[in-house]
Structure 1
């Protein structure tokens, strides 16, 4: 009997998911809990497991399709005896993880059929191997149960070129044919060009940034602030902090704290535009950008306004470490209401951030620099530590007055830091 697999709910606030890669094909036998596809939501990839044993009959959603939760994605032929044990009210697909799950989200792929003694890999990896004319047996496989992953192939490609030896017990993958037309422009690939397949994370970033840029009318404002006393505070506390906490005290927690405090007074900045209405969010959950290789993740500091400086620093360190280790969970990536981006870590002094859709605003914290400034009495000059704060807002619900008021309070919060302050 045929049963439908549906798009599972991969988080409390998730209403849809994008098919990244099918890990099975029609006619393939599967066991219950075997991953059948990779789904992208909120910049996290999760594997969707089968709910029962059977054989894949039809795949109903293509790679790249965005499917609503509960909509069918595949049809599976279930054996009669297995069918008799299934509860007719049971959902067709169980979530890969709930909104409260702490199980790490992995990007490993379920193997497609390959040569008997060779490493297993997904169709997406097979395409990558074919494009670069690589032999799977030449590449160390680090995935679960000896699977060859996309990252394995990309790491291999980044190494100095090695001879590609044909193994007698392996099928050499033939290069994929390159279609060309007479009217093809010079921007198309040419001899000597390097084609780098976009990762699923990069494709989602591209999709969400395009959506933000096309749908949100961005407004932008930049101010500067003297943070000399903040610099003195960090300088006075950093050695003791690292000894006690085991990691470095950076400037970023101070800015996150200043932003969280300002959002309490300016809740319209902590909102989103939804179906012609302004939704002001009660919780202040700050998204922060964390880079891993060439991919960008945006984990969330929940209830940031309730945390001390030390608490914020601990969350930043914990979330960044989870991203870089690959143990970040879907729950830790969801629920952000405002984004704080540390562009100053790259030496930037002025930038315009693209809003993290569907949030209403993003603030870029630029690099701290020393400048000669007049003294308060106007009789001389002093060397001051200055920083620029660049704010992008959704002009549908925020204007210059709201942006200016918010930045004024962020500036004041930064000015209030002093060397004798307690970080708790």
Structure 2
């Protein structure tokens, strides 16, 4: 009896995807609930598991675009699992490693290159960083090592400077003559991923379909920096997380949306939909592209609740565990180019939303304060908006409200 492996339904708007990787080979014996492939769509990357145990027969290759509901493999349930004898034989052929502390024999763990139980992302990190996944504690299903586990292990291990001997000086080691690359290695060509393709389509569509305009202002971040410095230790002790800047911006945006509701609306055909809820999207940069998970009911969350949600969604996005529902339904978006050093930008709308706030790098600049020149930590702010339904007066007022809330954060706590 053979069971079909079918591409599952992942959301109403997702109709196809690309097989990013097979974690098994044709003819392998797989166990029930084993992760056997990774599917990349225009919104998320998901893992496919075996519903039964048996020998797998692949009918699609890595890189193939497959439709939802398509059969991409079959699993022969009648096939027997490898016998104990063969397992013992393989075990006997593996070298034994003696523990210097206990003197007990331990089976050598398989290297990253020979293991089919890890994802391609894990194998790539293992090869590039010389880190064996078998030495890393897994947080995934059934103890599976994830990309996030590998990155954490890399950050925890000693630095290269400490572990490697000093390099020879330039005088001791002559530099080899530079060699020009062969013509075939000067460029590479690869297919756009569904996510990157979708991002490109949405950005172009936003510029073509909306009358997009951007207005600018700047905010003095002194009060927020002083507040964070004063209460950071207490905040961490109580909530287990640091108090960042983003939670202040989310609360400032919510307050501004409440005072200027025209921004919290969108166009649907020839109708205007006025939103009365405050689900705010926060842009997160990942290896595969930009994702915008949505924090629900921000008007009902405190700073700690917002910070925890941001950390949780960012982790899920970077580990490829984000779900389609996590990305839908936002009314406004915040993007922070400042973490990459951006001084000023014009953010593109996240359709069908009518507004997006761009944060930028904080830089100390001389400013006039009550007739005196002082050095203050300043940030440029930018709000892009859909001029079809948002007037310039509303957009400017909205940004001024955000600025005032940031410069006097007690307004956020007192709701004034």
Q: Structure 2 regions of 5+ residues with no counterpart?
A: 80-109, 155-159, 165-181
Query: What residue is the counterpart of 1:417 in the other structure?
Result: 409
Query: What residue is the counterpart of 1:39 in the other structure?
Result: 39
Query: What residue is the counterpart of 2:72 in the other structure?
Result: 74
The 1-side partners of 2:75 and 2:275 are apart by 45
Question: 1:421 offset after TM fit, Å?
Answer: 5.4
Q: 1:216-295, aligned counterparts within 5 Å?
A: 216-217=206-207, 218-267=212-261, 269-270=263-264, 282-290=276-284
Query: What residue is the counterpart of 2:14 in the other structure?
Result: 15
TM-score by length of 1: 0.60
1:57, 1:76 within 8 Å by CA — same for their partners in 2? yes
Q: Secondary structure of the equivalent of 2:21?
A: strand
* Residue 109 (structure 2) pairs with residue 119 (structure 1): no
Q: Secondary structure of the equivalent of 2:241?
A: coil
The 2-side partners of 1:275 and 1:7 are apart by 33
Query: What residue is the counterpart of 1:207 in the other structure?
Result: 197
Question: 1:257 offset after TM fit, Å?
Answer: 0.8
Q: Structure 1 regions of 5+ residues with no counterpart?
A: 82-113, 163-180, 190-194
Query: What residue is the counterpart of 1:104 in the other structure?
Result: none
Tell me: CA distance 1:149–1:298, structure 2 relative to 1, closer, same or farther (3 Å): same
The answer to which of 354-363 and 249-258 deviates more is: 354-363
1:61, 1:73 within 8 Å by CA — same for their partners in 2? no
Query: What residue is the counterpart of 1:403 in the other structure?
Result: 395
Q: What per-residue deviation string (whole Å, max 9, x for no partner) do you get for residues 161-194 of structure 1?
A: x9xxxxxxxxxxxxxxxxxx99x7x8525xxxxx
Match of residue 330, structure 1, among 323, 326, 332:
323
Q: 1:6-405, aligned counterparts within 5 Å?
A: 6-10=6-10, 15-16=14-15, 18-19=17-18, 20-24=20-24, 30-41=30-41, 44-52=44-52, 59=59, 63=63, 65=65, 67-68=67-68, 71-74=69-72, 76=74, 118-120=114-116, 140-142=132-134, 188-189=187-188, 203=193, 206-217=196-207, 218-267=212-261, 269-270=263-264, 282-290=276-284, 298-320=292-314, 326=319, 329-330=322-323, 333-335=326-328, 337=330, 338-356=332-350, 359-375=353-369, 380-383=371-374, 384-393=376-385, 400=392, 402-405=394-397
1:119, 1:148 within 8 Å by CA — same for their partners in 2? no
Tell me: CA distance 1:48–1:311, structure 2 relative to 1, closer, same or farther (3 Å): same
Question: 1:58 offset after TM fit, Å?
Answer: 6.2
The 2-side partners of 1:245 and 1:59 are apart by 49
Q: What per-residue deviation string (whole Å, max 9, x for no partner) do you get for residues 387-423 of structure 1?
A: 2112234567656455334323322333442499579
The 1-side partners of 2:200 and 2:46 are apart by 23
Which structure carries more helix by proportion?
Answer: 2
Tell me: CA distance 1:332–1:75, structure 2 relative to 1, closer, same or farther (3 Å): closer
Question: 1:258 offset after TM fit, Å?
Answer: 0.3
1:44, 1:333 within 8 Å by CA — same for their partners in 2? no
TM-score by length of 2: 0.61
1:361, 1:392 within 8 Å by CA — same for their partners in 2? yes
The 2-side partners of 1:249 and 1:123 are apart by 33
2:341, 2:360 within 8 Å by CA — same for their partners in 1? yes
Q: What per-residue deviation string (whole Å, max 9, x for no partner) do you get for residues 113-136 of structure 1?
A: x99x9433689689979xxxx89x
Question: 1:295 offset after TM fit, Å?
Answer: 6.9
The 2-side partners of 1:230 and 1:244 are apart by 19
Question: 1:305 offset after TM fit, Å?
Answer: 1.7
Q: What per-residue deviation string (whole Å, max 9, x for no partner) do you get for residues 355-407 of structure 1?
A: 4566544322123334443445xxx2242443211223456765645533432
Question: 1:8 offset after TM fit, Å?
Answer: 1.9
Tell me: CA distance 1:233–1:23, structure 2 relative to 1, closer, same or farther (3 Å): closer
Tell me: CA distance 1:230–1:27, structure 2 relative to 1, closer, same or farther (3 Å): closer
Tell me: CA distance 1:323–1:128, structure 2 relative to 1, closer, same or farther (3 Å): closer
2:54, 2:78 within 8 Å by CA — same for their partners in 1? no
Task: Give the aligned length.
Answer: 347
Which has the larger Rg?
2
Question: 1:59 offset after TM fit, Å?
Answer: 3.1
